[in-house]
Amino acid sequence: MLAYTYVEKGKFELREKEKPMLRDEKDAIVKVTLSSICTSDLHIKHGSVPKAVPGITVGHEMVGIVEQTGSEVKKVKPGDRVTVNVETFCGKCFFCRNGYVNNCTDKDGGWALGCRIDGGQAEYVRVPYADQGLNVIPENVTDEQALFVGDILATGFWAARISEIKEEDTVLILGAGPTGICTLLCVMLKKPKRIIVCEKEKTRREFVRKHYPEVILAEPERLPEFVRENSEHGGADVVLEAAGTKDTFRLAWECARPNAIVTVVALYDEAQMLPLPEMYGKNLTFKTGGVDGCDCEEILRLIVEGKIDTTPLITHRYSLSHIEEAYDLFENRKDNVIKTAVFTE
Ligand SMILES: [Zn+2]
Ligand SMILES: [Zn+2]
């Protein structure tokens, strides 16, 4: 089968590999029908994910059809159309029982697919702990509607869930890339009084303006003043940082009001500074990533009910054999790309 492979720092390559086989009674083999490229894949390519194992198939955002299951898999069966969770988790350890599945203590726990074990930018993928990692896609939900459920949408949902958003709040979201928009969609479900989205790229601001006209748009320049002018208590009540740069990390706490919650959704390429003397007295609460992706069933229900729709994010489509072109487009932000869908012929 074809599998897009992490060869070494700076190099991914489409290779012919053996089709994966069951290795454990809790595994499933999924025929991938649609996958996507995530910024985290680029982090692997750029060598900023130390845990990534050279030689593995990349890709951790995908949907597909269950082809084979181990004898202990109960929730899914061959033929089921499923979303695949970015995280592998046992469902039994202390962290899993508390919903902190990102820190599952299993050797494959957390983000393993497409990082430490073979992922889904391929024709087939082996999913460990299939009962936890797979969710059946309801009949009236398409593959494209479900594509982001297991990763960036799970991230947005988790970020909104832990941010303790109240109806009187002004919520600031930094970044309107794919994760920022998924975060926005999930924040909107909490119905805060006001949502401000800050994005430096004009085309991305235009995307937000077109699809979510109720949102207040801002640019990074003068953002702290703008947020103060557009909120009641000297800054945002809740800030979600989904852009992942040094500047946005700083803006996140600068734009927060005293005693605000600052949720760091993004993954950074390098360490960030917390200038505590400057922040002293602001009494902020920081919550940091990554996602505990255990809400996929609820997210699928919200999609069925029409409350979440991420299909506008899919701006480009490629076949797996043309995945190099998809990467070139996504990595170099060509043609106003937001997300690509990669389909298997
Ligand atoms: Zn991802
Ligand atoms: Zn666990």
The CA–CA distances, whole Å, from 130 to 10, 181, 205, 307 equal: 31, 28, 38, 27
Q: Say if CB 226 and CB 218 are below 8 A apart.
A: yes
Q: Say if CB 161 and CB 184 are below 8 A apart.
A: no
pLDDT at 180: 98
Average pLDDT, the chain: 97
Average pLDDT over residues 65-75: 98
pLDDT at 267: 85
Q: Say if CB 175 and CB 243 are below 8 A apart.
A: yes
What is the CA(234)–ligand 1 centre distance, in A?
Answer: 34
What is the CA(92)–ligand 2 centre distance, in A?
Answer: 5
219-225 long-range contacts (CB < 8 A, ≥24 apart) are: 220/247, 220/248, 220/251, 223/198, 223/251, 223/254, 223/255, 224/251, 224/254, 224/255
pLDDT at 161: 97
Terminal-to-terminal C-alpha distance of the chain: 12
pLDDT at 269: 79
What is the CA(32)–ligand 2 centre distance, in A?
Answer: 25
What is the CA(142)–ligand 2 centre distance, in A?
Answer: 30
Nearest to 198 by CA among 168, 221, 232, 182: 221
pLDDT digits (tens, 9 = 90+) for 232-257: 999 999 999 999 999 999 999 999 99
What is the CA(101)–ligand 2 centre distance, in A?
Answer: 6
pLDDT digits (tens, 9 = 90+) for 112-132: 999 999 999 999 999 999 999
What is the CA(106)–ligand 2 centre distance, in A?
Answer: 6
pLDDT at 247: 97
What is the CA(152)–ligand 2 centre distance, in A?
Answer: 21
What is the CA(99)–ligand 2 centre distance, in A?
Answer: 9
Q: Which ligand is nearest to the CA of 128?
A: 2
What is the CA(321)–ligand 2 centre distance, in A?
Answer: 35
pLDDT at 270: 86
What is the CA(127)–ligand 2 centre distance, in A?
Answer: 15
Q: Which ligand is nearest to the CA of 292?
A: 2
pTM of the prediction? 0.96
pLDDT digits (tens, 9 = 90+) for 210-235: 999 999 999 999 999 999 999 999 99
Q: Which ligand is nearest to the CA of 121?
A: 1
Average pLDDT over residues 300-312: 98
Q: Which two tokens stand for residue 48?
A: 């900023």
What is the CA(228)–ligand 1 centre distance, in A?
Answer: 32
pLDDT digits (tens, 9 = 90+) for 260-303: 999 999 988 789 999 999 999 999 999 998 999 999 999 999 99
Q: Which ligand is nearest to the CA of 111?
A: 1
- All structural domains of the chain, each given as residue ranges with its CATH number in brackets, are 2-151+292-343 (3.90.180.10), 154-288 (3.40.50.720)
What is the CA(160)–ligand 2 centre distance, in A?
Answer: 23
What is the CA(234)–ligand 2 centre distance, in A?
Answer: 41
Q: Which ligand is nearest to the CA of 26?
A: 2
